[in-house]
Structure formats: structure tokens, C-alpha cells
Structure 1
């Protein structure tokens, strides 16, 4: 009798895990199916470069798989598309771009991708732009004209300026560096995501509202900190900060339109003339650009060289926008004192 009882218990113990396993398998299968369905339903969004990625990821949350085309830290102005970029766009639902002629590689890349279902979001739609510096519109020439002086370009000078001035169609594209215009870009991205995926409208609106609130707070900080330095003038070697300067009553004097590893003799001369003609407080370089010449130049001109961030490098974390911009605020405040 005891042996029979023990035998039954052993049989029961052997059967139980099988039964339990049989009960767990369907739930695991359902979970896997739900995950697959969830991934299939989420949007596949491709952003051109880092700020567009930050803004899109902040608004989309977990409702979209967001990737970035241009690797953080790469030169955006002269980026050349790679085969993997064509593949990414070919399989994307949405492409988010800054626009204003910044992503010059994009038109041919989209054509080569052949994605007839691709929706594009131009984050800069409706933004009032300013013109970039160019050979025919140089702030120093305006100063010379105001003093009755005439500047005659030689053929060599014209060639030099043509080489070093990279003018985009549609105006200066660096709108993301102004928190107020960045807010407008976030709104454009929000509206584009809603149009593509109306079922998640409430989520996109809530996520955008949270990010926009932080942009409003950032704008208030810039206003509060910089209002004590009206018309503070700084020299840059990248025409990236006119919106930031205009927003907060500062003056940017840009020597070249895009970052240059080496300055030409004419550009050095232009920098010296800028210091002579303006009440310049500081020279601003950028991380990732060889600043040895700028350091020497700033010492010769008795000006301090500071680093300002154009926000094209950093982690894939939407909140880093605020970290980097607050660092820029601190730089500007220190430079303008």
C-alpha cells in the first residue's frame, strides 16, 4: 500500500511540471505575438541629424523606432550619403529633416531609396529665417560702407570667399539653436507624427507639451541671464548663432559660414578688422575644430577664446539638448561680462 502511494506521488510530481509547462507555453506565445504586433504597429522614423533625432524621440516616445542618419559629431554641412542611408530611408515610414537646405545630400538619397510611401516632416516649415553671410553680404563691408570706404574684391579674394562660404538655400538653417524656434520645430514634428499616426495623437501631444514646457523654461533662463549684456558682440567661425544672438539682444560677427580647420590669411585679416570695427567681447570656437590657430589669434587680439556647442554631437538622449544649451548660456554669460 505504501509503495503504491509513493508511486502515485512520484507520478504526480513527474506530471505536474509538464502540465505547468503546458500552461505557460501559450502565455509566452501570446506575449511574443503581442511584442511582434507592437513592433509592427510602431512607426519607423528616420531623423537626419542629432537635434532632429532628439526632438522626434521626445515627441514619439515608445510609439516609434527612431534612428539618426548622420552620426553624431559628423560634419552636417558637407555630409555624403552612404548606402546604408539609402536602405534606412527605403524602409522608413517617416523622414524628419531640418530643411532650409541644410541636408544637401537628402534629395538624391530619397530618390535612390525609391520609397513611394515615405512621409517627410520638414521641421522648419513656417519659421522666419535670416540670411547667411556671403561674399555680397559681409558685416564688415557694411561697416566700411557706413564710413564711406569702398572695398574692391580681387579675383583671388572672390575665389577665396566662394570657397569658404557655404550658402544654403532658404536662409540660415541653424534654427534649432534658438529655444523659441526649436519649440516651433517640435510642434511641426508633433503635427507630422499625428498626421502619420492619428491613433496615438494624445500621446504625441502630451510628450510634445512636456518638451515644449522645458523649452519655455530654457528660453526664460536665457532671457533672464543675458538681458544684462545688451549688444554683447562675439566673433564666431561658424555662422550658426544669428538666431540665438538676435533672440537675446547679442551680436554675432561670423567670419566664415561653416567651420574650417584652417583659416585663410584673408579670414585672419577679416577677424582683425572685426575687432577693430566692433566692441568685441570674445572669440567663440567650437568643440571638435582644431583651435590652435584661434588660440594664437585670440592671444594676439587680447581676447579670450571660448567654446560654444552647435549641438551636432552628443548622446542619443533628448534631454541632452537642455544640458548643452545651458552650457552655451553659461559660456555666453561668461564671455559677455
Structure 2
């Protein structure tokens, strides 16, 4: 560039001093603009090459949420390894030390997590915590007495909308599985999106755009699942080993009946009651999860003649997983006469 400008000045000198001065002034302006352009381009390249924000989450669906909202601006670490049970996960000291180096920790809000979060705060008191369950009213878990008190007549009782009506009793503990509800996922996405804007305000426009796109996809998924389950005429109850699908069931006017109650394995009496209820209500399927033993599910399936269906609540691809679970579950429920 400099050689080209020098040649222009020399050529202008052949036309007299006045012309040479004008060309020199013009060349200086061009050169100045060129240097500004180089500096601006370098700054842009620096921003683009900046390290992504390190965010730590507990489970894979959270990683999916953060990546949809943050894109290339974030790098996400998941604490609970694939196949492990989040309810029994206990991070080792070195894991907590690594987590403490993150820019943000997104808390899921399950009781077991609350038990070790103070240890993380002790390592790094100023680590920003984003509570994914912020602004969500959680659903109480049903007790053993409540589940076994529900006779076929009460389970079939419907509301004015023609769907099963929920029973309201005193409960032990709150259901933490809020990510399995598309309706609640919309709120969780907003919470995470606001947090990203707060820690990285320079990219607020991009985060807000991504939030709008993701929420639209959540709404589309919710509408598709609603149509799938609206076609069911009668049977809306299904068995589960671990009561993970309560919010999903509530969203689409279904009823989950768990084998595991109050965090404990079923007793022999529990299994007898479940088998009887399965026959009385013509329940066609039991959902099993990769993180839990299928021993009791097999016993119930063999005694009742019902089918087993794998449904992973911790799958990474949250949208595809919920859509697949919904389609397969609706198919099982619709096959009952």
C-alpha cells in the first residue's frame, strides 16, 4: 500500500509543486482511512476470537438450553456424567474446584444439589449462581397413601375440559423435574437468557435473538404435543419407575403412576397394588429410565402383560427427546380399546 502511494506522489511531482501538494494531502487522507480500517478490522477479529464464556451446569438438558441461547459464545461443562443418577450424584473435590473456575454456574434446584452447593461457594464465594427454577411454582410429590388411595373411579374423574382432574392433598417434597415441561421450559430459557445478557452485555442483541427463536421452537413443540395427546379418547394413565414425568403429564392432561414412592423402592404390597390398578384401569405401558434399575418394571410388566418403554429424562437433545417420548407414549395409550 505504501509503495503505491509513493508512486502516486512521484508521478504528481512531474506536474508541478501545487499539484504535488494536493496529491500528497489526498494520499495522507487515504492512508489515514486505510489505517483506521485496519485497526477496526483487527478489533473485530479480536472480538470474534475471544474465548467463550465458561458455564457449568448439572445435567445434559441444561447444556442444551444454554447452547441454544449462547451458541458459539459459551462453552458448557456438565457435572453429572451420562448414565448417572442426578439425585445421587456427589461431586468430588476436584470436580468442585474445576466448577469454581466457571464464569457462571446454572443451578437446577434439586435438593441433592442444594446439599453440596455451599461447598462450591466455600471454594469461590463470588461465583455467580443462576437458579434455573427461579419464578417457577413447583408441584408437590405424591405420597404413598395418596397414590394408593386413587381408585379407578377417582383416576377417571374428569374436569370440565374432559381431561383427568388432579387430586390436591398434602405432599412430601417438591418435584424438581421442571425441564420436562415445555410450558415451564419457556420460563427457564428466559432466566438463562437474562443471565447471559448480564455477564456478557456486549452480545445482548444476539442472546435476545436466540431467546426469541428458542422460545418459538418451544411453543411449536408444545402445540405439536398437545395435538398428539388431544386425540386420546380414554386412556391417559401410564406407569413409571421414577416419578420424573409429572410436569409433562400435567401439561398434556395425563397421569403418571410411579413404582418408586417418596424416593424409596416399592414394597411387595406396592407392587401388588400397582398390578391390580394396571388391570383395573387398562394401563398399557410403563416408562423406564436408563439411570434406574428395570427390575421392578420387568416384574410388573410380566404380571400385567404391559409393555416397557425407555424414556430418558436426561437426554441432551431436549426437543427431539420430548417429541419422541410424546409420540411413542401417545401411540401406546391410543392402542388400548
Same fold (TM over 0.5): yes
Alignment of 1:183-332 (within 5 A): 183-229=186-232, 232-257=236-261, 263-275=266-278, 278-310=281-313, 312-314=314-316, 320-332=317-329
Structure 2: gaps (5+ residues): 1-38, 155-171
Instruction: Tell me the CA shift for residue 105 of structure 1.
Output: 4.2
Q: Contact 1:253/1:274 (CA < 8 Å) preserved in 2?
A: no
Matched, 1:139 2:157: no
Residue from 177, 180, 186 that aligns with 1:177: 180
Q: Contact 2:315/2:321 (CA < 8 Å) preserved in 1?
A: no
Q: Contact 1:237/1:284 (CA < 8 Å) preserved in 2?
A: yes
Residue from 127, 131, 134 that aligns with 2:136: 127
Question: Which aligned segments of 4 or more residues in structure 1 are displaced greater than 6 angstroms?
Answer: none
Instruction: Report the Cα distance in structure 1 between the residues aligned to 2:94 and 2:153, rounded to whole angstroms.
Output: 50
Q: Contact 1:91/1:115 (CA < 8 Å) preserved in 2?
A: no
Deviates more, 1:273-282 or 1:220-229: 273-282
Deviates more, 1:126-135 or 1:51-60: 126-135
Q: Contact 1:284/1:308 (CA < 8 Å) preserved in 2?
A: yes
Instruction: Tell me the CA shift for residue 182 of structure 1.
Output: 1.2
Q: Contact 2:239/2:257 (CA < 8 Å) preserved in 1?
A: yes
| Larger Rg computed on CA atoms | 2
Instruction: Report the Cα distance in structure 2 between the residues aligned to 1:258 and 1:198, rounded to whole angstroms.
Output: 43
Instruction: Tell me the CA shift for residue 249 of structure 1.
Output: 1.3
Matched, 1:336 2:316: no
Instruction: Tell me the CA shift for residue 259 of structure 1.
Output: 8.2
Which one scores higher on RCO, CA 8 angstroms, separation ≥ 6? Answer: 1
Instruction: Report the Cα distance in structure 1 between the residues aligned to 2:209 and 2:241, rounded to whole angstroms.
Output: 39
Structure 1: gaps (5+ residues): 1-26, 147-166, 315-319
Residue from 109, 112, 121 that aligns with 1:99: 109
- Provide closer, same or farther for how the CA distance between residues 257 and 114 of structure 1 changes in structure 2, counting only shifts above 3 A: farther
Q: Contact 1:308/1:331 (CA < 8 Å) preserved in 2?
A: no
Instruction: Report the Cα distance in structure 1 between the residues aligned to 2:223 and 2:49, rounded to whole angstroms.
Output: 43
RMSD of aligned C-alpha atoms? 3.0
Q: Contact 1:178/1:244 (CA < 8 Å) preserved in 2?
A: yes
Matched, 1:38 2:50: yes
Instruction: Tell me the CA shift for residue 247 of structure 1.
Output: 0.9
Instruction: Tell me the CA shift for residue 291 of structure 1.
Output: 2.6
TM-score, normalising length from structure 2? Answer: 0.73
Instruction: Report the Cα distance in structure 2 between the residues aligned to 1:237 and 1:74, rounded to whole angstroms.
Output: 16
Q: Contact 1:80/1:105 (CA < 8 Å) preserved in 2?
A: no
Instruction: Report the Cα distance in structure 2 between the residues aligned to 1:259 and 1:308, rounded to whole angstroms.
Output: 19
Q: Contact 1:176/1:182 (CA < 8 Å) preserved in 2?
A: yes
Instruction: Report the Cα distance in structure 2 between the residues aligned to 1:44 and 1:142, rounded to whole angstroms.
Output: 47
- Provide closer, same or farther for how the CA distance between residues 257 and 247 of structure 1 changes in structure 2, counting only shifts above 3 A: same
